[in-house]
Structure 1
């Protein structure tokens, strides 16, 4: 297996990484590759998306993920393949539950449990999307970092599969002095078309959100990504899909952070499509350590 060059085809590279290969000798076992990262560690959103897709390969047709809870256990090596072992916990009349372990060198780097459901009628309501500028009116990461010659800047601005546009201004290089509560709104969209596969779109939403879920913690602490000595890592991730989603159309993440303590911070997000429909809710806790 080989991956396209992310600098030339970022969406194609991600789609290829998410195209898992089944193990012919073991049922419900798959293998996938990792996209190279500037720091050499597997990107958390990638392994989340892969684990969800592996689980989705084992459920009855017509059932889509509605919730997922995962723990990041070890840093992964982006130069080595990842194995995904799926455990079939239960298949009910409407719901299916699966546990997926992502493995490298025989040790789990992620453990995830997900629930899938058939489409069914029921009570219907949702919160409204806040009023924000349209994405075309908001500067992109390329606008902010295109002039910076640094591996992380190139990743955010050019090699990332998603175009990120911060309504409140980015914090890549400078802190935000005007956000004491750490709230932010970010438009996101894949940089190219994605096949019409709802499981894939939901997995890609998990992939994309890991890039920004802990940003409110930095914003509230008055720290930019460029803080010298900053150390961050995802610890656990919870996600609920409320409705169908398309990641190749603009999505708005409205984010906040209720708490940080003990070198950890909690980020929360609600995700709306461009029409204002609430499509997902997300929470992630991560290690956030800064120098004294």
Structure 2
């Protein structure tokens, strides 16, 4: 497995333009049987953003995952111009591998404007520097499972669990290195990070801790079905984000996760919702 740090992530997001509205990109070097969904959504957001005026920034996206992406295969991003307005634009992106569509993403962009403001206040999560890393929280249980190998582009720390439902958790995340000033890059890195923990959090109410999606008898796997992200404000992704996340329901093999995302000043900068499959399979002997 290769190294997947911030320079590698930036290279993955640096798509090659092969036609006016068509781009190609490679996959991150991760130890996964399929392409990480957060990477594909982030790449599609970059592709869409490169077809809208520079004054318009990402405002929302909705990705539907149709079939698993193959890590060795290149990705092609075909951007459809759904609407071009004076201050807002909408794009649809079809992500294909070898001619087969694996993800369909719709993204909206707009120029910032003034208006009324309000938000839900952030929870008390302490300082990210005082929170343990994900590895430290489960070191006494054998450390991270193989599903987490290679996610070195994002620094992740776990804040104390607040009072409330057992499915709630607080996670600090940021890029593990400096990013360029391009707001599209920061939005794309936040999109990438937003797919890391939401579905795994659905296992926490059932006795499995984040980062230990394997117990002594089963290996749990998560597969994204839909991923929606609303950008309320574009903030730097190389500074700390607090994900106040919980899973309100899991039923019939599917789980729903949602999160409010705050920046270091307490501003609510994004909201994420994701539905996915939860699959349990017996572990092979010796694991």
Normalized against structure 2, the TM-score is what? 0.89
**Contact conserved, 1:45 with 1:208, CA < 8 A, in 2?**
yes
**Contact conserved, 2:145 with 2:214, CA < 8 A, in 1?**
no
Whether 2:184 is the aligned partner of 1:187: answer: no
1:248 alignment counterpart: 238
Secondary structure, in 3 states, of the residue corresponding to 1:211? coil
Q: Distance in 2 between matches of 1:200 and 1:62?
A: 15
RMSD (Å) for aligned C-alpha atoms: 2.1
Give runs of aligned pairs for residues 1-150 of structure 1, distance below 5 A. Answer: 5-6=2-3, 10-23=5-18, 26-144=19-137, 148=143
**Contact conserved, 1:267 with 1:285, CA < 8 A, in 2?**
yes
Q: Distance in 2 between matches of 1:179 and 1:215?
A: 18
Shift of 1:37: 2.1
Q: Distance in 2 between matches of 1:44 and 1:60?
A: 26
**Contact conserved, 2:243 with 2:260, CA < 8 A, in 1?**
yes
Map Cα deviations across residues 15-69 of structure 1 (whole Å, 9 max, x no partner): 000000000xx32000000012212311100000000000000011200111111
The size of the alignment, in residue pairs, is 274
Stretches of structure 2 that go unaligned for 5 or more consecutive residues are 283-287
Map Cα deviations across residues 131-178 of structure 1 (whole Å, 9 max, x no partner): 1121111111343467759644543xxx42111111147xxxxxxxx9
Find the partner of 2:155 among 163, 172, 181.
Answer: 163
Shift of 1:87: 0.1
Q: Distance in 2 between matches of 1:254 and 1:150?
A: 23
Give runs of aligned pairs for residues 189-228 of structure 1, distance below 5 A. Answer: 189-224=174-209, 225-227=213-215, 228=218
1:264 alignment counterpart: 254
Secondary structure, in 3 states, of the residue corresponding to 1:131? coil
